[in-house]
Amino acid sequence: MKKTTVKTIAETKGSEKIAVLTAYDAIFARLADLAGVDAILIGDSLGNTVMGYNSTVPVRMDDMIRHTAMVARAKPSALIVADVPFAVAHKSFDFLLEDCANLLRAGADCVKIEGGALLADSIKRLVNAGIPVMGHIGLMPQQILKLGAYKTFGKSREEKISLLEDAKKLEEAGVFSIVIEKTDAETAAEITKKVSVPTIGIGAGAGCDGQVLVCADVLGLGEKIPPFAKKYADLEGIVKGAFSQYVKEVKKGAFPG
């Protein structure tokens, strides 16, 4: 399979929907790639799914670099997108540049940054330095301590205007794509019409250019699955069944046979 690049993704707008899944290691990166995803996101949802935290806030750059390298070792033809974790995008530019460069050195093809207009200048400088950036607006889970709860954005006129402005500023800054998380579906559809880069929705309706889901939710492995996600398999039941069969057989002396 031909390697998907940020250019491929950017050029897909309007012709084909873009399918993105998260993965955090070589096992699931390989499977997602074999399934034909366009991009694999090493999301900082790593914190809630794999690391056992209850938000993405405790995830550190070292964690992202380690898991990005795991995904990259699967050599997927899908685009590898690495999340920039909590607070890093607000560092002074030289530190941000070095952190993003380290994600690329670990094997990412590009980075994703939560933040709109406020971060447009830094994002523009990163893009100029050769670091492709995917934007992320709407619900930004890294803001959870300030927000108090995960909510839907873009319902009010003010929020809609502000989201449109964020998307426009990111486009001007040179992002190749924008994730829109948990927003009013009409707002996301309007943003999608008004920007030239593809939008990737999660809990933002069907009007986006693509969709992203967290692999644990898709596989039925998460303890709490958000209402907008879709469980395509119940791996929790399958894995628990296999593990308890193994325990029974060891206890009975049936394994090894």
C-alpha 171 chain-centroid distance: 18
Nearer to ligand KIV, 64 or 128 (CB): 64
Nearer to ligand KIV, 215 or 247 (CB): 215
Positions that interact with ligand KIV (CB under 6 A): 22, 41, 43-45, 83, 179, 181, 202, 212, 214
Residues 61-64: contacts with CB under 8 Å, at least 24 apart? 61/85, 61/88, 61/99, 61/102, 64/103
Nearer to ligand KIV, 47 or 107 (CB): 47
What is the smallest separation between the CB atom of 109 and ligand KIV, expressed in angstroms? Answer: 16
How far apart, in Å, are the Cα atoms of 186 and each of 83, 154, 161, 197?
26, 9, 12, 18
Contact, 175 vs 126, CB < 8 A?
no
What is the smallest separation between the CB atom of 187 and ligand KIV, expressed in angstroms? Answer: 17
What is the smallest separation between the CB atom of 177 and ligand KIV, expressed in angstroms? Answer: 11
Query: Which residue, among 121, 112, 86, has the nearest Cα to 176 in the 3D structure?
Result: 112
Dist. CA 77–CA 8, nearest whole Å: 12
Going by the DSSP 8-state scheme, the letter that residue 46 receives in this structure is H
Contact, 142 vs 57, CB < 8 A?
yes
Is 223 a residue of the active site?
Answer: no
Given the residues 159, 165, 172, 181, the one annotated as active site:
181
Dist. CA 146–CA 11, nearest whole Å: 36
What is the smallest separation between the CB atom of 229 and ligand KIV, expressed in angstroms? Answer: 9
Nearer to ligand KIV, 96 or 179 (CB): 179
Nearer to ligand KIV, 96 or 208 (CB): 208
What is the smallest separation between the CB atom of 101 and ligand KIV, expressed in angstroms? Answer: 20
List, by residue number, the catalytic residues: 181
